[in-house]
A and B are shown apart, each in its own frame.
Chain A
């Protein structure tokens, strides 16, 4: 989702002149305006949304926002697409949520409608805007509310899950951004309740998406959703059991080619056996970290730990640890390994971290650890910046 696309950009300085200029765009953004002027005006607005001051400026122009929201629903492709993208950028800025929703109270419902419309060409942009909006608790609750009100007979999230999981649901839009939207919604107990309903088949349909090669946004959203679901301790037994069998799906992206001796191989879950020599691990470090976090959550209870051990997690994590280039992920991996080989000893397992460390060296190591952690955190903050690239 690029911020700026053609047209003059107004960066840096914002003054009354700029405000007035922005206001002058308004007539050209009206639905009946001349097509070429309208397209140019929208492009201009899109360029504005690329910068903080630009967005702030737009945030003060309620009528402009309203017009933009209208245009995003337009049948005319050029303005609709740019308007949709402008909304995405605006939605990425938490400071703009209130002005946006104040300018267009029905925005969430209409965005949802478009995101889930199998014919709508800019459905992914609508989904992205919703994904951005739902990062904040209030809009998130509001989206949930809209979903619940939409189809009284059907569970609120069913359409969303279906749109995400059905290949070719929308022939003109990939709908990857439904995944981060779902991830945000899964922060709410009601959403998790539906996802974890053992009388239904919901979470099972998400599992294959972990391997979606075409989009890290999709993969990340799905893994985030699953991780949030793993907070529900009461469902661990079901999640780890045969009806869902979540663990192999979480381990597969962390597994490399793994040439294990036959005996060890046969003890791994079916999905991890005999992986080809060119097996790639999940390329996105953040997603790898979320996967490890999800598995870590599943080890919260003793029976859960048993299951995770029993299903071959240690082998995969051991190999991952020696391969893992990202320090933050490596640390998470170590912590999980420690849990797996921890106080309930199982014979036959190597203790990767078994080292007798003298006390003064131990202290130095801890200091280094702390320093490393700080560095990792700094790096992450720099990355997080604007919500969507």
Chain B
């Protein structure tokens, strides 16, 4: 039979079916039957039908025949079929079963090394190669696999070192930032509702600079420049029109008016009354705890304002309210609320 035996229809090819029934006759010894299954599996393997090959080998192993060498080959070949099916762990199990019967079976060792390589167990792969090379010091496949596995192992070690260094660097940067903020006595508050953390009283790192607290809509973060000055991501809210502006890096020594001059050089599109000019604008912050407002002179710097005893930075993104002082909206907005004037 040149072709691998596939499903044979007894009606179409009675001779073939007859032959097959002879070959697979249960009266033959287990060894003979197992050998037939092995051959069948090998034929499927040659045709790259790895699933069918695996099944054949399994049938052969089920016979539990007494021929150890045959079983070793069945396990090893099934491992190869599993390997080509991408079932590397199953392949490894088969290889180890083969080696249990015959530790020096070189093909099993080679297959095992290849499996470990695919599973990215590089140290194991090298180790198996070394074991195999003890059996045959010149086995080409083992030599090649060892080189590959060793190189990949060393690259993985490098990646680990790189990640570790990066993590350490970030931690150090965060540390420095937290310390800078604390040194300025700026009160930080977590973004989550109802949570209050006074960073002035707690130890360093009480507020993490990673995670949701540090995230704002544009992903900008607090930074420390070479002169040791902080730059903050700042939100300007315009309650009159439910609009907002986001300044990604507001230098702590720059003044509100400096930014407003630039931002409102032309009145924004939502400013239908065209009244939002730098001279008209008033800046407020809200003391949420007491529900009171504080008016900030635009000539103040960001740092001065952040350091105000009643100011809390929420989610590491200072926010301020801006409206036109003389407008009806503003008068309405301020009505019934306690408003303080910041010096």
Residues on A facing B (Cβ under 8 Å): 155, 158, 162, 199-201, 204-205, 242-243, 245, 270-271, 273-276
Mostly, the A contact residues are loop
Interchain CB contact under 8 A, B161 and A274: yes
B184 within 8 A of A: no
Q: Report chain B residues within 8 Å CB of A201.
A: 129-130, 133, 137, 142-143, 146
Known A155-B137, A162-B134, A199-B138: A204·B162 in contact at CB below 8 Å: no
Whether A274 pairs with B162 at a CB distance below 8 angstroms is yes
Cα distance, A37 to B240, chains bound together (Å): 107
Q: What 1/0 flags go to B180-202 for Cβ under 8 Å of A?
A: 00000000000000000000000
Q: Are B154 and A270 in contact, with the CB atoms below 8 A? A: yes
- Which of chain A's residues has its CB closest to B168's CB? A277
9 CB contacts below 8 A, A to B, read: A155-B137, A199-B138, A201-B133, A205-B130, A270-B151, A270-B154, A271-B157, A274-B161, A274-B165
B130:A271 contact, CB within 8 angstroms: no
Interface size classification for chain B: 20 to 34
Once the chains bind, are B165 and A276 in contact (CB under 8 Å)? yes
Is B150 an interface residue, CB under 8 A from the partner? Answer: yes
B164 within 8 A of A: yes
- Judge whether B138 and A275 touch: CB under 8 Å: no
Taking a contact as CB atoms under 8 Å apart, the answer to whether B155 and A270 are in contact is: yes
Shortest B63–chain A CB gap in Å is 36
Scan B126-168; emit 1 where CB is below 8 A from any A CB, else 0: 0001100110011000110011001100110110011011000
- Docked complex Cα distance between A45 and B155 (Å): 54
In Å, the complex CA distance between A245 and B138 comes to 19
With a cutoff of 8 Å between Cβ atoms, the chain B residues found around residue A199 in the complex are 138, 143
From B160, which residue of chain A is reached at the shortest CB distance? A274
Point out the residue from B138, B146, B158, B164 that lies within 8 Å of A273, measured CB to CB: B158
Please tell me which one of the listed residues B138, B147, B158 contacts residue A270 in the complex, with CB atoms under 8 A apart: B158
The residue that A274 contacts in the complex, of B130, B142, B158, with Cβ under 8 A, is B158
Whole-angstrom distance from the CB of B153 to the nearest CB of chain A?
10
Q: Check B161 against A276 for contact (C-beta < 8 Å).
A: yes
Contacts of A243 in B (CB 8 A): 143, 147
Q: Give every chain B residue within 8 A of A162 (Cβ-Cβ).
A: 134
> If the complex has contacts A201-B130, A201-B143, A205-B130, are A275 and B150 also in contact, measured as CB distance less than 8 A?
no
**Extra 12 A-B pairs, beta carbons < 8 Å, given A201-B130, A205-B130:** A162-B134, A199-B138, A200-B137, A242-B147, A242-B151, A271-B157, A271-B158, A274-B161, A274-B162, A274-B165, A276-B161, A276-B164
A270 to B152, CA, bound (A): 10
Residues 115-132 of B, flagged 1 when their CB comes within 8 A of A and 0 if not, give 000000000000001100
Complex-state Cα separation, A134 to B129, whole angstroms: 32
CA of A234 to CA of B194, assembled, Å: 75
Contacts of B138 in A (CB 8 A): 199-200
A162 to B135, CA, bound (A): 12
- Chain B residues with CB below 8 A from A158, complex form: 137
User: Given the complex of chains A and B, what is the CA–CA distance between A183 and B162 in angstroms?
Assistant: 35
Contact A275 B161 (CB under 8 A): yes
Shortest beta-carbon contacts, A-B, top 9? A274-B161, A274-B162, A270-B158, A199-B138, A200-B137, A273-B158, A274-B165, A270-B154, A270-B155
| Residues in chain A near residue B151, CB distance under 8 A | 242, 245, 270
A204 adjacent to B158 (CB under 8 Å): no
